[in-house]
Structure 1
Amino acid sequence: MAIDTSDFKNGMHFYMDGDVWTIIEFQHVKPGKGGAFVRTRLRKVRTGQVVEKTFRSGERVEPAFVEKVPMQYLYKQGSDAILMDLDTYEQIPVPFDSLGGQGRYLKDEAEISALQAAGETLGYELPNFAELEVVETDPGHRGDTVSGSNKPAKLETGATVQVPFHINIGDVIKVDTRTDSYLERVKK
């Protein structure tokens, strides 16, 4: 039962070149000349690789039925992340790298989802936002609030992001884990 490009939705999974891909975003384009097409940004579930691909309008793809299994990140042990299946309470070591770039924002006991298709774990879906404490940054000085200028800040998980000058050690900030960007300071 293949699906047509007119059925595309953000977050939809399908098979392409033997791998499962997720649609991040798509746009139907109808040029004045020639046939219509669909421009997409896709993420390979297994590796996190993002590509842009254009499909002809009406082109068909094979849907992938991906199950999201709730897991909890317990802690890091060596080069492994120890995850617990929230249904069976089984603890599973997985290579920390398999969590992708967003893994560096995980706090102990954070909930994530294992993405499984046909009984095989393809990858992990991590929270898009994290609230983390700043543990190391240069002090902000009065008058240093020139718009557009930032400074690096090390967070409690070891990740480093660029933050505005008014952020200090001990502040809790909200970070977009997909873009590694500072969003706002969280009120205490």
Structure 2
Amino acid sequence: MASTADFKNGLCLVMNNDIYSIVEFQHVKPGKGAAFVRTKLKSLTSGKVLDKTFNAGEKVTTARVEKRSHQFIYADDMGYHFMDMDSFEQIPIEEKLIERPQLLKEGQIVDILVHDETETPLSVELPPFVELMITYTEPGIKGDTATNALKPATLETGATVMVPLFVEQDTMIKVDTRDGSYSERVK
């Protein structure tokens, strides 16, 4: 049990037979009336986001969730397979539990959120940035770097991102996993 005073981003709550993670919250103290907490919650099982308002001091049930490091091994028709870094046990995970599966590269380390009581995986968190090789992109035109124009580039995982015109094929780039966008070239 916790109260609204204990809210922080990432805290997991049990509501309506589901587990929700707090994406953002805001304590509001109006000039007239009681204080309340406005939250944005994301379901860890379905991925749906909902807005909910709690009264200040309201008690909520928290879920015990643990982050465990796993290494991505391969993907097949059964799902995405990960290996626990401590026990070397392999677990398959459905694609819907991974935010951006097209950015997963074999051997990559990720964090998997696991519900402590039931030992079920809830979601897969990729690192904020991943380094991937560009396997194909159109060649840039010399002298065409003054504009902010972008072109599509295919990465080694098969994903496509928009990159600036000066980025060439066979270049390592850093990709932001939160929105799937180009960040920078890797030196």
- The alignment's TM-score, normalised by the length of structure 2, stands at 0.86
Residues 1:32 and 1:185: Cα distance change in structure 2 (over 3 Å):
farther
Residues 1:29 and 1:157: Cα distance change in structure 2 (over 3 Å):
same
Aligned residue for 2:100, secondary structure, equals: helix
Within a 5 Å distance, the mapping from 1:20-99 to structure 2 comes to: 20-95=19-94, 97-99=95-97
Give the conservation status (yes or no) of the 8 Å contact 1:47–1:100. Answer: no
- The alignment's TM-score, normalised by the length of structure 1, stands at 0.86
| Equivalent residue number for residue 125 of structure 1 | 125
Q: Percent identity?
A: 47
Residues 1:15 and 1:157: Cα distance change in structure 2 (over 3 Å):
same
Deviation by residue 1:129-177 (Cα, 9 ceiling, x = unmatched): 2111111122221343354432211111111112221211112111111
Tell me if 1:110 matches 2:127. Answer: no
Give the conservation status (yes or no) of the 8 Å contact 2:45–2:97. Answer: no
Q: Gaps spanning 5+ residues in structure 1: where? A: none
Structure 2 distance, partners of 1:79, 1:120, is 16
| Equivalent residue number for residue 15 of structure 1 | 14
Q: Gaps spanning 5+ residues in structure 2: where? A: none
Structure 1 distance, partners of 2:163, 2:34, is 45
| Equivalent residue number for residue 156 of structure 1 | 156
Deviation at 1:108, TM superposition (A): 0.7
Deviation by residue 1:92-145 (Cα, 9 ceiling, x = unmatched): 2333x1342322111111112232221222222222221111111222213433
| Equivalent residue number for residue 140 of structure 2 | 140
Structure 2 distance, partners of 1:148, 1:41, is 34
Structure 1 distance, partners of 2:88, 2:157, is 24
Residues 1:86 and 1:4: Cα distance change in structure 2 (over 3 Å):
same
Tell me which moved more, 172-181 or 137-146: 137-146
Structure 1 distance, partners of 2:136, 2:97, is 25
Deviation at 1:73, TM superposition (A): 0.7
Task: Give the letter for the 1:6 counterpart.
Answer: A
Structure 1 distance, partners of 2:133, 2:178, is 18
